[in-house]
Amino acid sequence: MNSAEVSALIAKNPTLKASKAKLEAMEADAYVVHRSWGFGQIKRYDDATQKLVIDFKDKKGHSMDPAFCISTMEVLPAKHLLVRKETDAKKINELIADNPAQLLIETLQAYPNNAATAIEIEIVLAQVLGEEKFKKWWAAAKKLISKDARIQVPVKKTECYLIRETPVSAEDELVEQFNGTRSARRRILLAEELVDGSDKATSQKDLASVLAGLATSVQESNQLDAAERLYGAAIRDDLAKLVGSETAYEPSQASLIANQRDLPEIAEKIPVHFQSRFLELILATHPIETRDIVFGLLKVSQGKFTTECINFLVEQGHSDDLASTLTRWQTEQNLRAPVLLWIVKNRHSKKFAKLLNDLITPRLLSAVFFAIDYEALQAASARRIPLADILSEDTDLIADLLSTADPETARDLANTLMLNQGFEELTKKSLLARFIKIFPKIQSLVAADAESKEEQLLVSRASYEAKRAEYESIVSKEIPENSKAIATAREHGDLKENSEYKMAKQDQQVLMGKKTLLEKDLGRARITDFKEASNEQVSVGSIVTVRAGSGQTTYTLLGVWDGNPDKNILSYKTPMGAALLGKKVGDTVKVKTGTSEDSYAIVSIARYVDSL
């Protein structure tokens, strides 16, 4: 728009006078970014309609009211990266590929004071590269940018990238950031970067200053937990070696792990790249107890630390102990998901195949199913379960674990799979096909089970968790205790005359029956919050007042495991609950109890959730 066109527009709409400069910037061939339409180029101003004609990526020749564009559209300067992507694409593509730091500098030069927030920069670069390519490129580019002496890198996304007036080395910038923060956690990370990237350009004076500050933070800060303090002490000692300091700093790394009871919590939180050093530190601090300590840590380990513990035990000559311990944990049903995952991943490795050979049995598959089910039920969201993923992805795993199974064991495991909460239905069918390939008869057995499968059970979360706790107690406590009782009784001699053995075996049958029933019930359960209940008719989650004769009684109809007669809470599966379902106010229901039959008239219906 030229001056005359802008003046005519303002004369017609005087409120636009304050935006005169913005309107004059909306000239032909200028590039713009619109809040809704994105990047585009103004082609012309149509004086007849008094509208701008703009070519957007997905909408060519789009007419827009300039008054509307004032608050929704930004005219970009010629140096803006989005503009240069259009006008000088070859140069920009070269910078993207070969010189990300220079690309950022030229991007910043289009902003006032050569500064822009990390959020602004990432939005622009994502538009230039495309969202899919940007994430991977930016992860690598930031490492190069952080080493460029011309650029000040922000700590937070809300802070600015800016071009320095005087270039500063990456090491000097780290020292500057260290001195500018009082956060002990931030100081540890910055000191670590100095240790990893230090060279002769970093003055010993600066490093000594950082060492003194870090030592104070590790010793005095109340921000740090035990794992962070230990890691900070390790970085402090690495920095001391770099400086050549012989000072014995406190607390020492050894003193921080002197109490063995603290080790599992520390191990859970230490950085992954510090895990092997942590184990070496345990060896140096607890040379006699190291073996038992590491086995204890392995039992509750997570992720990569599981592998670190096992490699450490093997390197220390404890391979036989490792094999026997894993077998014992399997018998006691104490193999947790991370250790199970390591076992199945390494069952064919040259280093561990012999050690793991005796573990690759149907019993291990049962442990895998239990661990997957447990993790699925504990998860707050639909997060991925690594053990379930490998069972699906490793097409040989089920065959390996079933190699010594008999048909009855395979059928039981197949049914356990079908009740498992950790798999989607399609995945279950895919895994079941691998069972059927080895044991064809399972198909008819599972089909029969599927045909007889009852409808879902509606349950409250509290009652579900109580049932789940009962199941876990049976599986993790009562069955292992019973197995030990059977083993002890067996040692007493002749099994035919051994009453203790017979009683223990009877208890085993009862426990296994409970376990199977609970598995089926838990598999059929659907947790509800009772919010689907209405005031129109009786449903699960209703409060119902009924009249029998001259008296009235109020019942609350809840899940199948929520019954509490003392509080007039009924399971919807009771005769009274089942009779009330679907009825409306004014209806009469008859409930048969023993040889008598009573009539109840429904007086009112309310929602249980509204009473909470």
Instruction: DSSP for 575-604, please give it.
Output: HHHHHHTT--TT-EEEEEETTEEEEEEEEE
Grade residue 324 by pLDDT with cuts at 50, 70 and 90: very high
Strand partners, 62: 54
Out of 492, 527, 562, a domain closes at 527
Which residues form the domain of 575? 542-611
* Strand (E) or helix (H) holding 363: helix 362-378
Distance (Å, whole) CA 217 – CA 211: 10
* Region 343-364 average pLDDT: 92
| Three-state DSSP class for residue 527 | strand
Position 548 in a domain: yes
Least confident of 26-35, 209-218, 444-453, 468-477: 444-453
Is the Cβ–Cβ distance between 387 and 378 less than 8 Å? no
Q: Give the chain's end-to-end CA distance (angstroms, integer).
A: 64
Distance (Å, whole) CA 56 – CA 463: 57
User: Residue 493: its pLDDT value, please?
Assistant: 55
In this structure, the answer to whether residues 250 and 147 fall within a common structural domain is: no
Position 349 in a domain: no
In this structure, the answer to whether residues 417 and 516 fall within a common structural domain is: yes
Distance (Å, whole) CA 100 – CA 97: 7
How do 457-459 and 525-527 pair as beta strands? parallel
Whether residue 453 has pLDDT greater than 80: no
Position 435 in a domain: yes
Q: Which residues of 474-502 are buried (b: 16+ CB within 10 A; e: fewer)?
A: bbeebbeebbebbeebeeeeeeeebeebe
Distance (Å, whole) CA 352 – CA 358: 11
Is the Cβ–Cβ distance between 236 and 191 less than 8 Å? yes
Q: 3-state DSSP: the chain helix, strand, coil percent, rounded to 5? A: 60, 15, 30
In this structure, the answer to whether residues 409 and 391 fall within a common structural domain is: yes
User: Residue 268: its pLDDT value, please?
Assistant: 92
Cα separations (Å) of 313 from 177, 263, 302, 308, 319?
Answer: 41, 17, 16, 9, 7
Instruction: DSSP for 195-210, please give it.
Output: HHH--TTS-HHHHHHH
Is the Cβ–Cβ distance between 542 and 606 less than 8 Å? yes
Position 374 in a domain: yes
Least confident of 200-204, 219-223, 341-345: 200-204
In this structure, the answer to whether residues 215 and 97 fall within a common structural domain is: no
Instruction: DSSP for 380-418, please give it.
Output: SS----HHHHHHHH-TTHHHHHTTT--HHHHHHHHHHHH
Cis check: omega of the bond before 251, within 30 degrees of 0? yes
CATH for 24? 2.30.30
Q: What is the pLDDT of residues 422-451, one digit of tens each?
A: 888 788 889 999 999 999 878 765 555 554
Whether residue 452 has pLDDT greater than 50: no
Is the Cβ–Cβ distance between 475 and 577 less than 8 Å? no
Q: What is the pLDDT of residues 476-535, one digit of tens each?
A: 888 888 877 777 776 665 545 556 767 877 787 788 778 878 888 887 888 888 888 888
* Region 141-161 average pLDDT: 86
In this structure, the answer to whether residues 20 and 144 fall within a common structural domain is: no
In this structure, the answer to whether residues 476 and 519 fall within a common structural domain is: yes
Which residues lie below 8 Å from residue 502, measured CB to CB, with a gap of 6+? none
Q: What is the pLDDT of residues 244-278, one digit of tens each?
A: 888 899 999 999 999 999 999 999 999 999 999 99
Position 307 in a domain: no
Cα separations (Å) of 594 from 366, 547, 575?
Answer: 43, 20, 11
Position 518 in a domain: yes
Q: What is the pLDDT of residues 209-242, one digit of tens each?
A: 889 999 999 999 999 999 999 999 999 999 999 8
Is the Cβ–Cβ distance between 563 and 553 less than 8 Å? no
Distance (Å, whole) CA 299 – CA 322: 11
Task: Name the token pair of 251.
Answer: 């607390």
In this structure, the answer to whether residues 480 and 442 fall within a common structural domain is: yes
Is the Cβ–Cβ distance between 1 and 24 less than 8 Å? yes
Least confident of 145-149, 153-157, 388-392, 440-444: 440-444
CATH for 586? 3.10.50.30
Q: What is the pLDDT of residues 152-169, one digit of tens each?
A: 888 788 889 999 877 767
In this structure, the answer to whether residues 381 and 509 fall within a common structural domain is: yes
Q: What torsion do the CA atoms of 438, 444, 445, 446 make, to the nearest 10 degrees?
A: 80
Out of 163, 178, 213, a domain closes at 163
Closest by CA position to 432, among listed 422, 417, 447, 451: 417
Q: In what order do the strands lie in the sheet with 51-56?
A: 59-64, 51-56, 38-46, 31-34, 73-75
Give the chain's domain count: 5
Which stretches of 56-203 are DSSP H helices? Answer: 66-72, 81-87, 89-98, 100-108, 118-129, 131-146, 170-180, 184-197
Distance (Å, whole) CA 282 – CA 304: 18
CATH for 497? 1.10.287.180
Closest by CA position to 357, among listed 381, 326, 380, 386: 326
CA angle 508, 511, 516 (to 5 degrees): 120
Helix orientation angle between 131-146 and 118-129, rounded to the nearest 10 degrees = 130
In this structure, the answer to whether residues 43 and 173 fall within a common structural domain is: no
Q: What is the pLDDT of residues 186-197, one digit of tens each?
A: 999 988 988 887
Q: Report pTM.
A: 0.55
In this structure, the answer to whether residues 394 and 448 fall within a common structural domain is: yes
Dihedral sign of CA atoms 556, 559, 560, 565 in order: negative
Whether residue 112 has pLDDT greater than 60: yes
Mean of all residue pLDDT scores within the chain: 87
In this structure, the answer to whether residues 107 and 240 fall within a common structural domain is: no
User: Residue 381: its pLDDT value, please?
Assistant: 47
In this structure, the answer to whether residues 520 and 411 fall within a common structural domain is: yes
Which stretches of 221-262 are DSSP H helices? Answer: 226-243, 253-256
Position 115 in a domain: yes
Position 500 in a domain: yes
Out of 50, 75, 100, a domain closes at 75
Is the Cβ–Cβ distance between 568 and 556 less than 8 Å? yes
Which residues lie below 8 Å from residue 569, measured CB to CB, with a gap of 6+? 555, 556, 558, 562, 563
